[in-house]
A and B are shown apart, each in its own frame.
Chain A
Amino acid sequence: MPEDAISAAGVRKTYRARGQPPVEALSGVSLRVGRGERVSLLGRNGAGKTTFLRIASTLLMPSSGRVEVFGRDVVRDPEGVRPLIAVVPQEGKPFFHLTPREQIYTYLRSRGFQRETAKSRTEEALGLMALEEVADRLNATLSGGQKQRAMVATVIATQAPLLFLDEPTIGLDPFARRGVWESLRRLTRMGSTILLTTHYLDEADVLSDRLYVIDRGQVVGQGTSEDLKRSTGGTLRVSFRGPFPDAKALRAEVQGTGRIMEDDQSLHIITSPERMEELLAIALRRKLAATVGPVTLEEAFLRLVGRSIEGEEHVGS
C-alpha cells in the first residue's frame, strides 16, 4: 500500500477557451500529502490552489504531469479514486430546497451508505457543525455561514479517506471555525487525510501538519508552520507604527538589524532577540510606538509570495 495519500509531480494546467488567451494556472507543481496528514495550500488569489484541488479530485484534467491518490492515477483511473474522496468545492452551496438534515442524509445515501449509518452520521455531523437548531429549516433560509457549515457537514459526514476542502471556513464565525478545526482533527485521528486551502493564516498555522505556499502556479515554499516562520530569518517581529516624519532616515537606521517589511502605515523588522535592544533604542530615541511579537505565518507568507520590499534583494524571487 502506498504511503502517500496524494503524490503529485510536475502538474501543469493551462486553461484554454476559444477567443481568449490561454491562462497558465499551474506550471509544474509537485507535492505530496502523507496518509493521515492535514496539509494546507496557501497562496494569493489566482495562485492556482483551486486548480490543483480540482485536478487531484478528478474534476479537472491536467495539461501534463501526474497525480496519484492512494497510488491511483487520477487521469487513468478516476473511478478508482472517486470512492476514496470527498470535496467541499469553493463557493459551493447546499440545495436551497432541502434542509441541512435532508441534505447530509441524502448525500450519504447517494454515496451508498446504509439508512442507519446515514442517519447516525447525519446527526453526528449536524452536532459537529452546530447545526442542530437549523437542521430542519430549508437551506435557502439559512445565513451565509450556516449554509457553508451545511456544506462542510455534508462532506465531513462521509469520513472519506481523503477530503479536499477549498476554503471550508470562509464566512464562518470564530466559534464555527474552531468547530471545523476540531472536526478535521478528529477525522485525521480516525485515519482520514485532509488537503485544504485557506486565506486565514492563523487557521493554517494551528490546523496544518504541513503547508505548501503556491504562487503563480508554482510551489514557492513548503514545510511545517515552524519551518516557514524560520525561513523569514528571525523569530521576532518588531513593528514601528507610522506615519514617520522622516521615513527615509528611519529606514537607513534600521538597515542591517533584520529583514525589513513595510505596509502602508508600519515598518516591520524580522529579527532575532539579540538585536532587540538596538531596535528599541531607535524607537525610544525617535519617540515611535513599537510592538514586539513572535514571527507569524503571515510574515513567512508575505515574504514567500514576494510582497516584501526589502532594501537590497527582492525576496521570494
Chain B
Amino acid sequence: MSGAEASFPPLDVTTGARSLRSRWQGARGFTETEVRVQTHETLALATSMIVQTVFIVFVWLLDRSILPFAMVGAVIFSVFQIGERVTNEAAYIRIDHRLTELYHASPLTPEAYFLGIAAGIMIAYLPPVVVLVVLAEIVHPMGLLAAGVFALSLVAIWLFAASLGYTFSTLFHDSRAIWPYSSLFYNAFGVLPPVFYPFVVWKAIIPAAVVPAGLLVPPSAAAALITWAEGLTPLSTGEVLTAAGSLTFFALATFAFAVHWARRMAREP
C-alpha cells in the first residue's frame, strides 16, 4: 500500500494559465488507451479497407493505366476515413460509456483528449495504410519530392478529418444517430472528388465553374498534389498553390477550431 505518496498536484500549486506543454501532456497516455482499444477490433481494421480494395480491383481489371492514381487515392481515402472512426468513437465513449466525464474531470485537458483519440485511431489504423503505401510505391516508384509531398499531405488529411470528426461528434445525443451522417460524409468526400481517379478526368467531365472545387476539397487537393509531385498530373503553378494552400488552410483551421470546440464542450452548457 503506497497510499501516502500521492502525486497529484499539491493544492497550493498556482495553476493559473497552464503552459503549452502541460496542455498537451496527457495526450500520450490517452493515445495509448485508444490504440489498445482500437487494436482489439481487428475486424474493423479489415473492413476499413473494403472500399479501397474494391476500387483497386476494378481499376486493375478495367484500366491499369490509372492504377497509380487509384493507389494514391486508396492511401488518402484510408487516412481520410480515420475521421469517421474518430466521430463514431468519440460519440460512443461520451454517450454510451460516459467515459469522457472521467477524462474531462481530470488534469487531462479537453484538447489533449481530442488529440489522444485522433492519434490513437490513426496509429491503430496505420498498418493497412503502410501496406497500401508500399503497394503504391511498387506500382509507381516515388522520388524524394513526391514522398515528402505525400507525407505532408497525409498529415494534413488526418488533421482535417479527425478535427472535423471530433467537432461533429459533439453535436449528437445518440451515438447511433451519428453513424449514417459520418459514413455519408466521409464516403462522399472521399470518393466523389478526384481522389481515386485523375484530376484531368474531373476537369473533362465537370462544368468549368466547379473544377476548382477539386483542388479545394482536401482529399482531392492532396491527390492532385501527390500525383503532380509524382509527375502524373500536370498542374499549373497556380493550381499547385491553390491545392497546397487549401489543404494547409483546412487542416490548420479545422484543427484550431476543434481545439477551441473541445475546450468549450468539455462543460455541457
* Residue ranges of A at the interface with B (Cβ–Cβ < 8 Å): 1, 54, 57-61, 70, 77-80, 82-98, 102, 106-114, 117, 120-121, 124, 138, 154-155, 158-161, 164, 186, 190-191
A to B CB contacts below 8 Å, 24 in the list: A58-B266, A79-B18, A80-B15, A83-B106, A85-B105, A86-B102, A92-B97, A93-B97, A93-B98, A94-B97, A94-B99, A95-B99, A106-B29, A109-B33, A110-B33, A110-B103, A111-B8, A112-B25, A112-B26, A112-B29, A112-B107, A114-B7, A158-B8, A190-B3
B11 within 8 A of A: yes
In this complex, the member of A77, A86, A154 whose beta carbon has the largest number of chain B beta carbons within 10 angstroms is A86
In the complex with contacts A97-B41, A112-B25, A106-B36 CB distance below 8 A = yes
Contacts of B7 in A (CB 8 A): 113-114, 117
A138 touching B8, Cβ below 8 Å: no
Contacts of A82 in B (CB 8 A): 104-107
Distance A79 CA – B108 CA, assembled complex (angstroms): 10
B102 touching A87, Cβ below 8 Å: yes
> Looking at the complex, which one of B37, B99, B109, B268 makes contact with A79 (CB distance below 8 Å)?
B109
Distance A114 CA – B5 CA, assembled complex (angstroms): 13
B2 touching A120, Cβ below 8 Å: yes
* Residue ranges of B at the interface with A (Cβ–Cβ < 8 Å): 1-4, 6-9, 11-12, 15-16, 18, 25-26, 28-30, 32-33, 36-38, 40-41, 93, 96-99, 101-109, 116, 266-269
If over half of B's interface residues share one DSSP class (helix, strand or loop), that class is named, otherwise mixed; here it is: loop
A92 touching B266, Cβ below 8 Å: no
Distance A20 CA – B70 CA, assembled complex (angstroms): 50
Q: How far is the CB of A24 from chain B (nearest CB, A)?
A: 16
Contacts of A94 in B (CB 8 A): 97, 99
Please, which residue of chain A has its CB at the minimum distance from the CB of B35? A106
A85 touching B1, Cβ below 8 Å: no
Distance A275 CA – B33 CA, assembled complex (angstroms): 63
